[in-house]
Amino acid sequence: MDVEAEKSEHVISEELADRVEEAPGYPKTDPHGDPIPTIGGGGLEEVLYDSLADLEVGQTVVIRRVSDDSSEMLCYITSLGIHPGAIIHLRKKGAFRDPLFIQVDSDEHIIGQEVAGKIFAAPYGK
């Protein structure tokens, strides 16, 4: 399928390309929160967010991006209910490289620093 997409991107009209881009409602990010380039070449304005590992105890945040570098890690993070738009509350954080105790909706989870470093968030309500 990727081969076909690669071929067609060089032969479709600009009008058809605009219609394809418009179809899903002009999303600015992919399902993991990474910016999507636009047909005109813009749209790669990446916003930098803090990782969960950098947050302070008691903070409530909204997830904005989840690293998709590792499909296994992404599957694990998703299984915890963590995705762009999810609300997370940091309940407890150990010193140094100790785990984080987080609340996702009504569920509590313990995640390691490596996992927390792959999840990026913004303050909730701002």
* SS3 of the chain: helix, strand, coil, percent, to 5: 25, 25, 50
Q: Report how far residue 124's alpha carbon sits from residue 59's, in angstroms, rounded to the nearest whole number.
A: 8
User: What is the average pLDDT across 117-124?
Assistant: 94
Average pLDDT value over all residues in the chain: 79
Per-residue model confidence (pLDDT) at position 94 = 83
Q: Cβ(29)–Cβ(35) under 8 Å?
A: yes
Residue 3 — very low, low, confident or very high, per pLDDT cuts 50/70/90?
very low
Q: Report how far residue 32's alpha carbon sits from residue 38's, in angstroms, rounded to the nearest whole number.
A: 17
Q: Give 49-101 pLDDT, tens digit per residue.
A: 999 999 999 999 999 989 888 889 999 999 999 999 999 999 999 887 899 99
Phi, psi angles (nearest 5°) of residue 80: -85, 0
> CATH number of the domain at 50-123, please?
2.30.30.90
Give the pairing of strands 100-104 and 119-123: unpaired
Per-residue model confidence (pLDDT) at position 7 = 47
Domain ranges across the chain: 1-46, 50-123
Q: Cβ(59)–Cβ(123) under 8 Å?
A: yes
- By residue count, the chain amounts to 126
* DSSP summary character for residue 55: P
Q: Work out the burial of residue 68: count CB atoms within 10 Å of its CB; fewer than 13 is exposed, 13-18 middle, 19 or more buried.
A: middle
